[in-house]
């Protein structure tokens, strides 16, 4: 089970870093996506920094609990923004990382 948790953690950290970096770097598709949702660049960059912070915290065992919660919150906000654009199916699929972050969070709580 420890191996599964570690693999999920690594995938979530990479996913959160990639999503956050795309927002911070203002990738055109992200800018358009946020514009379609009625949000500006400041909101996009803020979410990106939040996602990167969650990934960084999750990588350190001492901060894994707060990092997993931060990543989960970042993924949830992303799913809600996707929902704001009207893409229900993609929003539902985007909840998978939220659930997996919860799995990491529970695992981190058990270690404490």
8 Å CB contact between 48 and 20: yes
Q: What is the C-alpha radius of gyration for the chain, rounded to an integer number of angstroms?
A: 14
| CA 111 – CA 76 distance, rounded (Å) | 24
Q: pTM of this prediction?
A: 0.93
Q: At a CB cut-off of 8 Å and minimum separation 6, what does 89 contact?
A: none
| End-to-end CA, the chain | 17
112 residues of the chain, pLDDT tens digit each: 689 999 999 999 999 999 999 999 999 999 999 999 999 999 999 999 999 999 999 999 999 999 999 999 999 999 999 999 999 999 999 999 999 999 999 988 887 6
Chain centre distance of CA 24: 14
Q: For the chain, how many structural domains are there in total?
A: 1
Give backbone dihedrals phi and psi of 98, rounded to 5 degrees, phi first: -65, -45
**Domain limits for position 61:** 2-111
């Amino acid at each position: 089970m420890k191996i599964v948790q570690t693999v999920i953690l690594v995938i979530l950290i990479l996913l959160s870093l990639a999503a956050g970096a795309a927002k911070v770097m203002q990738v055109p598709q992200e800018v358009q996506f946020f514009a379609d949702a009625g949000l500006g660049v400041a909101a996009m960059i803020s979410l990106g920094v939040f996602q990167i912070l969650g990934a960084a915290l999750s990588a350190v065992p001492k901060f894994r609990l707060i990092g997993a919660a931060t990543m989960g919150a970042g993924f949830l906000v992303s799913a809600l923004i996707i929902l704001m654009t009207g893409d229900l199916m993609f929003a539902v699929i985007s909840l998978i990382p939220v659930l997996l972050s919860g799995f990491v969070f529970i695992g981190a709580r058990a270690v404490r």
